Amino acid sequence: MGVVATGKQRSERRADALSKERIVETAIEILDTEGENALTFRALAARLATGAGAIYWHVANKNDLLTAATEAVVARALTEGDDAAEPRQAIRDIALGVFDAIDAHPWVGTQLTREPWQAAMLSIFEGLGGRLPALGVPEPAQFDAASALLNYVLGVAGQNAANAREHARATDRRAFLGAVAARWSALDPRRYPFLNRAAERLPDHDDREQFLAGIDLILAGIETLGGPA
């Protein structure tokens, strides 16, 4: 609109001035659509129609960029699932919010597990730990209990991110799980009895349900800490 193309074609037209926000949003786009490996300063600069060095004026380095992108996604995820009044349900909602965010943006799982004490992680920690008083958990035990929930969430986050990296574009989940299950079934049943049994359940299990089952297990353990509900 009103922009006259001069001489050489340019692949992309600058929408407006560069800003950290615009850089972060573009990075999220690349991460979501092309995967973790596709985010390079060169690719990012090309999409933003600028030089690679320009990005460094707004962002300290790649880690800073990834942290900001993670923070943006997690912040949205946590505000969406507004607070349930019931503390058990509130904790489930927060955990599921993070789970679903990582399902949609697997690279968030990678970054969440790589960079400790970042803002995104603190929000999750507060969300989980903040409900423990209402659950009747005595103060001295709250730190450990919230840590257990957080670390479980982070563990699943990392695995989901790794799985997404493995079969980049969902190459038939059932076939993939079937192949893994076949490997488990091939193990010596005397040395690996549990994996042999688990192999039968693997192909049909639902990741989200299993994730929630784990949360409920930890919540059940936490409830043994407090007085009667």
Partner DNA sequence: ACCTGAACACCGTTCAAGT
Binding-site ranges for DNA (CB under 7 A): 17-18, 39-43, 49-54, 56-58, 61-63
Taking CB under 8 A as the criterion, which residues in 120-179 touch its own copies? 122, 125-126, 129-130, 132, 139-140, 142-148, 150-159, 162-163, 166
Handedness of CA 141, 221, 148, 112 (dihedral sign): negative
Residue 60 vs 186, nearer CB to DNA = 60
Which residue do the tokens 């079969």 mark?
167
Q: Min. distance of Cβ 19 from DNA in angstroms?
A: 7
- Give helix then strand counts, H and E, for the chain: 11, 0
Q: How many CA atoms lie within 13 A of 139 on its CB side?
A: 0
- How does DSSP assign 197-211, residue by residue? HHHHHTTT--HHHHH
Query: Which of residues 10, 173, 174, 183 is near its own copies by CB under 8 A?
Result: 183
Query: Which of residues 81, 198, 203, 226 is near its own copies by CB under 8 A?
Result: 198
Residue of 223, 84, 49, 78 lying closest to 141 (CA atoms) = 223
The radius of gyration of the chain from alpha carbons, rounded to an integer in Å, stands at: 22
Helix (H, G, I), strand (E, B) or coil at 213: helix
Residue 50 vs 226, nearer CB to its own copies = 226
Query: Which of residues 10, 173, 205, 208 is near its own copies by CB under 8 A?
Result: 205
Query: Which of residues 25, 86, 89, 194 is near its own copies by CB under 8 A?
Result: 194
Residue 51 vs 193, nearer CB to its own copies = 193
Choose among DNA, its own copies, none what residue 117 binds, the Cβ cut-off being 5 to 8 Å by kind: its own copies
**How big, in percent rounded to 5, are the helix, strand and coil portions of the chain?**
70, 0, 30
Choose among its own copies, DNA, none what residue 219 binds, the Cβ cut-off being 5 to 8 Å by kind: its own copies
For residue 207, give every residue at least 6 positions away whose Cβ sits within 8 Å of its Cβ, in sequence order, or none: 103, 160
Choose among DNA, its own copies, none what residue 150 binds, the Cβ cut-off being 5 to 8 Å by kind: its own copies
Dihedral of the CA atoms 108, 39, 35, 96 (nearest 10)? 10
Choose among its own copies, DNA, none what residue 139 binds, the Cβ cut-off being 5 to 8 Å by kind: its own copies
For residue 146, give every residue at least 6 positions away whose Cβ sits within 8 Å of its Cβ, in sequence order, or none: 125, 128, 129, 132
State the residues that interact with its own copies by CB under 8 A. 113-117, 122, 125-126, 129-130, 132, 139-140, 142-148, 150-159, 162-163, 166, 180, 183-184, 187, 191-195, 197-198, 201-202, 205, 210, 213-214, 216-222, 224-225
